[in-house]
Amino acid sequence: MLRYFHRISGDRPPTTPPVQQPNGNVTAAVNQRPPADDVRGTDTPPEKVPRRVLPANFAPNEKESGPSLFESIMHKFVKVDDNERVTQRSHSLNGSLPKSSLPVGICADTDCKVVNKAEAAFQPLVKVKDNAVNFKEKANQENIVVVETDDNVTGPETPGMLPLASHVKRSREDGSKFGSLLNSGKRVRFLDGSLELDMTKKEAEVASKFEWLDPSRIRDANGRRPDNPLYDRTTLYIPPEVLGKMSASQKQYWSVKCKYMDVLLFFKVGKFYELYEMDADIGHKELDWKITLSGVGKCRQVGISESGIDDAVLKLVARGYKVGRVEQLETSGEAKSRGANSVVRRKLVQVLTPSTNVDGNIGPDAVHLLAIKEENNVLDNGAVVYGFAFVDCARLRFWVGSIDDDASCSALGALLVQVSPKEVIYDSRGLSKEAQKALRKFSLNGSRTLQFTPVQSITDLVNNEIRDLIHSKGYFKGSSHLLDHVLSNVIHREITLSALGRLIGHLDRLMLDDVLQNGDLYPYQVYKGCLKMDGPTMINLELFFNNEDGGKSGSLYNCLDKCVTSSGKRLLRNWICCPLIDPEIINKRLDVVDDLMANPEIVPHIAQHLRRLPDLEHLLGRIKSSLQLSGPLLLPLLGKKILKQRVKVFGSLVRGLRTALSLLLLLQKEQPLISSLTKVFKLPILTGSNGLDQFLAQFEAAVDSDFPNYQNHNVADSDAETLKILAELFLEKAAQWFEVVHAINCIDVLRSFAVTSTFSCGTMSRPVIVASKGTSKDNGRTVLKMKGLWHPFALGDSGCLPVPNDVILGENEDGLYPRTLLLTGPNMGGKSTLLRSTCLAVIMAQLGCYVPCESCVLSAVDIIFTRLGAKDRIMTGESTFFIECTETASVLQNATQDSLVILDELGRGTSTFDGYAIAYAVFRHLIEKVNCRMLFATHYHPLTKEFASHPRVIMQHMACAFNSKSDTHSMRDQELVFLYRLASGPCPESYGLQVALMAGIPEKTVNIASKSSQKMKKSIGQSFRSSEQRSEFSTLHEEWLKTLVSISRIEDCNSLDEDALDTLISLWYELKTSFISGK
């Protein structure tokens, strides 16, 4: 069979053996950076050395001239020698194979000057300089970020610290998306059960060769051990004597790897991509690749061919890993043409992470990378300042801003819920314990996995240095907003600019200069003139995820999401985060919804156009980032792939925008719909000589001419320049194209509102939004009147709609109503559902959507506060009662008369008397000092006696009834039936014992509890009787009486000053108002 492998003609050129350089000529690259990004050497390319794999007595046909082809490739077909017993690796070897998540640190390079070995071992990699030109040397030299381990923050920097699922389970999850990666033709020597067998002599040699990777000896770039608080897990120290023994190809790999120890580094060798040592372990575990003792320097390695590398990278990134690719800048033939001992030049050209991967982030969810900075000093009022910056690499957009927060970190929670970042970069040394707990707390909600990257700058750049860096590097030169203009809209500019500098350093390390140079910069305000909802409120109301399993089902977003496009879904999420408070703008949106519902025949045509649209936002971002000919585009194989992809993106964008313009031109013929739409968004000029219609037609012709088969175009060298010119001309009207995309997104969301309102299973009505007293000086009023209110996405036990109820709070055309509802009723009676329904209806109304009720009159709410449910957070060390008090404190500090406050069973997390005292004090403060709209659900029935006659409180309860199964009076035969309907007055009892029976507690135990309850009521009956007397005399009456008594003590009526007279007038007005309201 060997004759089929013989070389047809010509001899194979002899392979030049590796040249060992003297030890004195090679040292660690401690402070100097190579003059070029690529690493050069003086050795031959790392080729595989043929190894004997057949029986010892095997001899090929030696009569043939020259070595046979089979001899040259037989190392690919090796098998384990039967005479070698591969056994279990020893503990020492296992210790020398750290996971990717282990902290690691200093780099080595071939272009280094000779330094003292002892000094090189601990000489700092980064020196402090004062000018902005040396930004990398100060904060990120050689693309290094110092990371401090913080045990208080959960979530690994890489998934290497997470328990690994079985390969079968992962294959089922990822098989449909990525396909099989096993047909890669790897040139490896398979080790049967390589990680589970004993150590051989050859493996022991490998262990001793890489002993500097052993956890007991490993150090970072500055010579620090892992137990040092400043230990940098992203860098690795390589001893100088080890570098002296490395070949040039080994130095190429380790000079890059020692700077990117947190990155899985694929090293290009010929037509294969290989992972080594600790990266090989991850490749084996995640992708089930077999490990071989081969590769650069005969280390442990796994590999895959060129055809499978893209899928492998996407698969690893999808599992949370950072993946880099070291590419060959030339072929081995080109390297040898420079000299017999020349090595193939290689360069790190790409680092992909879950938060920056553009190709893998195609979908409705925006992927954000957030950098946050906390002010070290606390202000006098106890507030804390946070500066932040985040980026969406797919859409090429940056946002910066700052927030003022308190110890509860509620504003920080709102930021995290609104942005929903994939990864958070923060200063572990400068971030308080409370902020770290907030990061953990809000990362545990929802189904998205949030990665934390704690970093520590070796030196903080001052603002002038960051500005100089941005200008010198040309960052944000493609932005429509200048940096100074954006910062002028930020309150705390210093800390915001510091956070932006940290984000820039991180992206610079990931080699994302295209994103930094072409990105758009915007200011971001967490509460930007909208209905304010802090983080706990968004979670309590289940706006985006349900609290049961973290999924989207059972959330307001899922209820309203009838959008067709991915960009429309993202806009809907932004709208839910920031509902409107201006009645005029709200009514403009409602007018569009009315017009769409009045013209149902146009809605299917809109949906038909929307379904044909690609993700225009992502495509525009991709085109902006491709304006410059980046480094990877110049590589032989990778460059063609990138260019082919860019041609496809440009063609898809042109075709998609044509569909978008067709829809807008169609709607221009629809009156009065187009008039309503143009009040919601700005529409650019579409027709005429300066219109986008004719402008786009030119690019359609260019695509048909130059790239007729743009979906699968065979690229040529000239296509790169052609595409660059077309992109530059196309983006001359970038602002108008973004207006078109925004208009399409608004149409998609408003169409979704119309569909939701039309096809809802319950009654929906247009809300009447009136001006509130806080926003209008004339005719303003505070009102919340909803008749027939039902929960928009909670079904009853039999799948039917929840029972509708009427909620009326505040001033109304029918008269004056109290602004506070004190709600009682049995457990499972529907109190919490009513509270949530009220809040959700308010949010939907201020979004510009119909609400789930028969009629709704509402003055705009400025803030919604919630205290719902009983839950603790073990992972953050917070008890149920602590969470109650934290959320209640935010209410007391920030509520206004235009706020809506929802409190559910406040005080149940502690003792009965302490809980009642807290509930009483909070309730009284809110109704007498704040006087906001409030729904207060409680089981403390003495509160109903205490505030029964209070003019600002109305009593209602969730009705229930008993269904007798027999004539006996047994508690078991009395079935408690929940009616889920609001009834006047307080609930007679809490019916806790009946609910206990329904829950399965034995009847004998419940009977004992009933007798004990009667005894306790009798023993404290006097207290109950004294509380009954409060039903006719409230706390407000006390204040009135005290006022009258203090004024009556003035003996000389002529000496009454103006303040006393004003007090009498105010008291008369309150008495009159109370009398008119029926109290």
Q: Residue 369 in contact with residue 423, Cβ under 8 Å?
A: yes
Q: Residue 856 in contact with residue 767, Cβ under 8 Å?
A: yes
Whether the ω angle into residue 672 lies within 30 degrees of 0, i.e. cis, is yes
- Considering only CA atoms, which of 1048, 1075, 1079 is closest in space to residue 948? 1079
Q: Distance (Å, rounded) from C-alpha 37 to C-alpha 259?
A: 13
CATH number attached to the domain at 91-125+155-352: 3.40.1170.10
Q: Distance (Å, rounded) from C-alpha 806 to C-alpha 801?
A: 15
State the pLDDT at residue 597. 94
Q: Distance (Å, rounded) from C-alpha 679 to C-alpha 308?
A: 51
State the pLDDT at residue 326. 92
- Considering only CA atoms, which of 925, 998, 920 is closest in space to residue 963? 998
Strand order in the sheet with 272-276: 292-294, 299-305, 272-276, 264-269, 323-328, 346-352
DSSP label at residue 361: G
State the pLDDT at residue 689. 86
Q: What are the boundaries of each domain within the chain?
A: 91-125+155-352, 362-526, 561-565+581-759, 768-1019, 1035-1076
Q: Distance (Å, rounded) from C-alpha 210 to C-alpha 258?
A: 13
Give domain 768-1019's CATH number out of 2.60.120.10, 3.30.390.50, 3.30.420.10, 3.40.50.300: 3.40.50.300
| Sequence-ordered list of residues with C-beta below 8 angstroms from that of 155, at least 6 positions apart, any chain | 440, 443, 450, 451, 452
Q: Residue 653 in contact with residue 619, Cβ under 8 Å?
A: yes
- Considering only CA atoms, which of 205, 891, 11, 204 is closest in space to residue 536? 891
| Sequence-ordered list of residues with C-beta below 8 angstroms from that of 392, at least 6 positions apart, any chain | 366, 367, 368, 621
**Which stretches does DSSP call E strand in 222-379?**
264-269, 272-276, 292-294, 299-305, 323-328, 346-352, 369-374
State the pLDDT at residue 249. 87
State in words which class domain 362-526 has.
Answer: alpha beta
State the pLDDT at residue 1070. 65
| Sequence-ordered list of residues with C-beta below 8 angstroms from that of 829, at least 6 positions apart, any chain | 958, 959, 960, 978, 980
Three-state DSSP at 934 gives strand
State the pLDDT at residue 171. 43
Could you report the average pLDDT of every consecutive run of 10 residues in the chain (1079 residues)?
43 43 40 42 41 46 46 44 40 39 38 39 37 40 37 39 44 42 38 43 61 87 87 88 85 91 92 91 92 76 90 91 91 84 87 86 84 72 85 92 85 91 83 82 68 66 82 86 89 90 91 89 90 90 87 90 95 95 95 94 94 93 76 63 87 95 93 92 90 93 91 84 90 93 96 94 92 62 92 70 88 78 87 93 96 94 84 55 77 90 82 82 89 90 84 89 66 74 84 76 80 70 50 59 66 63 66 55
Other CB atoms within a 10 A radius of the CB of residue 201 amount to 7
State the pLDDT at residue 847. 96
Answer whether CATH 3.30.160 is correct for domain 561-565+581-759: no
State the pLDDT at residue 1006. 78
State the pLDDT at residue 967. 61
